Amino acid sequence: MLKELGDIESSDLNIEKLKNWKADKFLCDLIMSKPTTLSREETEDWLYRNKVDENQEFKGLFLNDELVGVARLMFINKEDSIGEIGLYIGGENTRGLGLGTMALNQLEKIAKDKWGLNKLYARVLDTNISSLALFERQGYFREGQLKSHYRSIITSEWNDIIYLAKFI
Amino acid sequence: MERAYKVLNQQVFEEGDYKLVPIRHEDRYEIMRWRNEQVKVLRQKGVLTPKEQDYYFDTVVNDLFSLKNPKQLLFSFLKNDVLIGYGGLVHIDWDSLNAEISFLLDTELMRPETYTAFSNIYFPLIVKVANQANLKKVYTYGYDLDSFRFLPLYKNGFELEAYLHEHVQINGVYKGVRIYSFMLC
The verdict on pTM exceeding 0.90 is: yes
Best mutation target, B169, B182, B184, to test chain A (most A CBs within 10 A): B169
Distance from CA of A123 to the nearest CA of B (A): 12
Query: Each residue's pLDDT tens digit in chain A (168 positions)?
Result: 788 999 999 999 999 999 999 999 999 999 999 999 999 999 999 999 999 999 999 999 999 999 999 999 999 999 999 999 999 998 777 878 899 999 999 999 999 999 999 999 999 999 999 999 999 999 999 999 999 999 999 999 999 999 999 999
Nearest CA in chain A to B45: A79
What residues in B contact A144, CB-CB < 8 Å?
A: 161-164, 179
What's the ipTM? Answer: 0.93
Best mutation target, A29, A32, A75, A151, to test chain B (most B CBs within 10 A): A151
Nearest CA in chain B to A153: B95
Percent of chain B beyond pLDDT 90?
Answer: 89
What residues in A contact B183, CB-CB < 8 Å?
A: 147-148
Asked if the Cβ–Cβ distance from A149 to B165 is below 8 Å, we say no
Candidate from A80, A148, A163 with C-beta closest to B136: A148
A143 touching B, CB under 8 A?
A: yes
Residues B50-66 have pLDDT tens digits of 999 999 999 999 999 99
Q: What is the DSSP string of chain A?
A: --EEEE-----HHHHHHHHHHHH-HHHHHHTT-------HHHHHHHHHHHHH-TT-EEEEEEETTEEEEEEEEEEEETTTTEEEEEEEE-STT-TTSSHHHHHHHHHHHHHHHTT--SEEEEEEETT-HHHHHHHHHTT-EEEEEEEEEEE-TTT--EEEEEEEEEE-
* A38 dihedral zone (left: phi>0; alpha: psi -120 to 50; beta): beta
Whether pLDDT at B45 is above 80: no
Asked if the Cβ–Cβ distance from B161 to A153 is below 8 Å, we say no
Percent of chain A beyond pLDDT 70?
Answer: 100
pLDDT tier, B42 (very low <50, low <70, confident <90, very high otherwise): confident
Candidate from A151, A163, A167 with C-beta closest to B97: A151
Lowest-pLDDT range of B17-21, B45-49, B63-67: B45-49
Residues B87-120 have pLDDT tens digits of 999 999 999 999 999 999 999 999 999 999 999 9
What residues in A contact B158, CB-CB < 8 Å?
A: none
pLDDT for position A96: 82
pLDDT for position B1: 57
Interface of A with B in 16-55 (CB under 8 A): 34
Decide: helix, strand or coil at residue B128.
Answer: helix
pLDDT tier, B171 (very low <50, low <70, confident <90, very high otherwise): confident
What residues in B contact A158, CB-CB < 8 Å?
A: 96, 136
Candidate from B161, B163, B166 with C-beta closest to A147: B161
pLDDT tier, B46 (very low <50, low <70, confident <90, very high otherwise): confident
Residues B151-165 have pLDDT tens digits of 999 999 999 999 999
